[in-house]
C-alpha cells in the first residue's frame, strides 16, 4: 500500500499548459484578477476561472475579494520555490516574435522570483556580496557576517529584525536562467524591498521582469561593480 503523498495529483495540475502559464505569471508575488491571468495565458476569462478554482482547491493559491473583483496570488513561498525548481528542468520557451524575444531578454536580465531578485542581476548580486564579505556562502544557505550586518544597515536593512520573520532567513535558490544561485528567503525579500524603496529598481506591469533605474544603475556599479547593460 502506497502511503506517500500523491505526486500525480500535483503533476496533473501543473502540466496543463493554461494552468502552468497562470502559475508562472503568479511567480512575481502580486495579486491578479482572473481577467488579467486569462490574458497572460491566452485563454478566455471563464476558462481561467475554472483553472483558478482547481488551483484554489489544491491550496496552491490564495484569493482576496475586494469590491466586485477577486484577486489571486500564490499561497506561499514554498509553492513558488517548487515551481522555480520545475522551471530549472523545463525546456526553454520557443521564441516566435520580436516581442517575445525582448521579454525573454528582460526576464533573464532581472526579474522577481516570488518576493526576491533573480536573473543575471540577482545572481551577480549574490556573488558580489560574497566577494565583499557581506555574505558567507555555505552548502544550502548564505549567512551574514558582522561586517555584512553593518553594510546592510546602510541600505536600511536591519538583519536582527529580518531574522525574526517566521520563514527561512537566507537560503540559496537555483536560478533557472543562470543555473547559479541567487538570494532567497527573508533577506532576499528585504533586499528587493530596499532596492524598490530607494528607487534603484522598479516593477513593470504584467511581467516578472524588473527595470533598473538610472540612479540604480549608478549605485549598483558604485557599490557592487555591477554593470547594467541597456536593452
Instruction: Identify whether residues 196 and 121 lie together within a single domain.
Output: yes
**pLDDT value at residue 166:** 86
Between CA 195 and CA 202 the distance in angstroms is 8
Pairing, β 116-118 against β 210-212? unpaired
Residue located via cell numbers 491550496? 59
Indicate whether 143 belongs to any domain.
yes
**pLDDT value at residue 4:** 57
Indicate whether 83 belongs to any domain.
no
Between CA 116 and CA 188 the distance in angstroms is 5
Q: Is the pLDDT of residue 85 over 70?
A: yes
Instruction: Identify whether residues 14 and 47 lie together within a single domain.
Output: yes
Q: Is the pLDDT of residue 230 over 80?
A: no
3 state DSSP class of 34: helix
Q: How confident is the model at residue 98 (pLDDT cuts 50, 70, 90)?
A: confident
Domain residue limits at 162: 98-224
Q: Classify burial at 81, counting beta carbons within 10 Å of its beta carbon; exposed 0-12, middle 13-18, buried 19 or more.
A: middle
**pLDDT value at residue 10:** 79
Instruction: Identify whether residues 135 and 63 lie together within a single domain.
Output: no
Indicate whether 81 belongs to any domain.
no
The domain spanning residue 30 has which CATH number?
Answer: 1.10.10.10
Instruction: Identify whether residues 70 and 117 lie together within a single domain.
Output: no
Instruction: Identify whether residues 13 and 102 lie together within a single domain.
Output: no
Indicate whether 154 belongs to any domain.
yes
Instruction: Identify whether residues 129 and 182 lie together within a single domain.
Output: yes
Indicate whether 14 belongs to any domain.
yes
Indicate whether 80 belongs to any domain.
no
Instruction: Identify whether residues 67 and 114 lie together within a single domain.
Output: no
Indicate whether 191 belongs to any domain.
yes
pLDDT digits (tens, 9 = 90+) for 116-158: 999 999 999 999 999 999 999 999 999 999 999 999 999 999 9
| Domain count of the fold of the chain | 2
Instruction: Identify whether residues 103 and 210 lie together within a single domain.
Output: yes
Q: How far is CA 154 from CA 7, 176, 221, 229, in A?
A: 45, 30, 16, 26
Instruction: Identify whether residues 104 and 63 lie together within a single domain.
Output: no
Q: Is the pLDDT of residue 231 over 60?
A: no
pLDDT digits (tens, 9 = 90+) for 1-47: 555 566 777 788 888 999 999 999 999 889 999 999 999 899 999 99
**pLDDT value at residue 151:** 98
Q: Is the pLDDT of residue 205 over 90?
A: no
Instruction: Identify whether residues 17 and 48 lie together within a single domain.
Output: yes
Containing 22, the helix (H) or strand (E) segment is helix 17-25
pLDDT digits (tens, 9 = 90+) for 155-203: 999 999 999 998 999 999 999 999 999 999 999 999 999 999 999 999 9
Q: Classify burial at 213, counting beta carbons within 10 Å of its beta carbon; exposed 0-12, middle 13-18, buried 19 or more.
A: middle
Q: How far is CA 79 from CA 23, 59, 83, 88, in A?
A: 10, 10, 6, 15
Indicate whether 168 belongs to any domain.
yes
Between CA 129 and CA 145 the distance in angstroms is 10
* Spatial contact of 170 and 141, defined as CB atoms under 8 Å apart: yes
Instruction: Identify whether residues 64 and 129 lie together within a single domain.
Output: no
Q: Is the pLDDT of residue 94 over 80?
A: no
Instruction: Identify whether residues 51 and 126 lie together within a single domain.
Output: no
Amino acid at each position: 500500500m502506497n502511503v506517500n503523498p500523491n505526486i500525480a495529483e500535483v503533476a496533473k495540475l501543473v502540466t496543463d499548459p493554461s494552468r502552468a502559464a497562470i502559475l508562472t505569471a503568479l511567480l512575481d508575488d502580486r495579486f491578479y484578477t482572473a481577467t488579467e491571468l486569462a490574458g497572460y495565458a491566452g485563454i478566455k476569462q471563464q476558462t481561467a476561472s475554472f483553472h483558478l478554482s482547481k488551483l484554489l482547491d489544491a491550496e496552491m493559491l490564495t484569493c482576496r475579494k475586494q469590491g466586485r473583483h477577486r484577486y489571486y496570488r500564490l499561497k506561499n513561498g514554498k509553492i513558488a520555490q517548487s515551481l522555480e525548481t520545475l522551471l530549472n528542468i523545463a525546456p526553454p520557451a520557443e521564441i516566435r516574435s520580436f516581442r517575445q524575444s525582448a521579454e525573454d531578454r528582460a526576464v533573464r536580465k532581472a526579474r522577481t522570483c516570488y518576493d526576491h531578485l533573480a536573473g543575471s542581476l540577482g545572481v551577480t548580486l549574490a556573488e558580489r556580496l560574497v566577494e565583499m564579505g557581506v555574505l558567507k556562502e555555505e552548502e544550502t544557505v548564505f549567512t551574514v557576517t558582522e561586517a555584512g550586518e553593518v553594510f546592510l544597515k546602510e541600505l536600511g536593512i536591519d538583519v536582527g529584525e529580518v531574522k525574526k520573520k517566521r520563514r527561512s532567513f537566507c537560503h540559496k535558490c537555483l536560478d533557472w536562467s543562470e543555473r547559479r544561485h541567487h538570494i532567497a528567503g527573508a533577506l532576499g525579500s528585504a533586499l528587493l524591498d530596499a532596492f524598490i524603496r530607494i528607487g534603484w529598481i522598479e516593477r513593470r506591469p504584467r511581467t516578472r521582469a524588473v527595470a533598473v533605474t538610472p540612479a540604480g544603475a549608478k549605485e549598483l556599479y558604485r557599490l557592487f561593480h555591477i554593470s547594467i547593460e541597456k536593452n
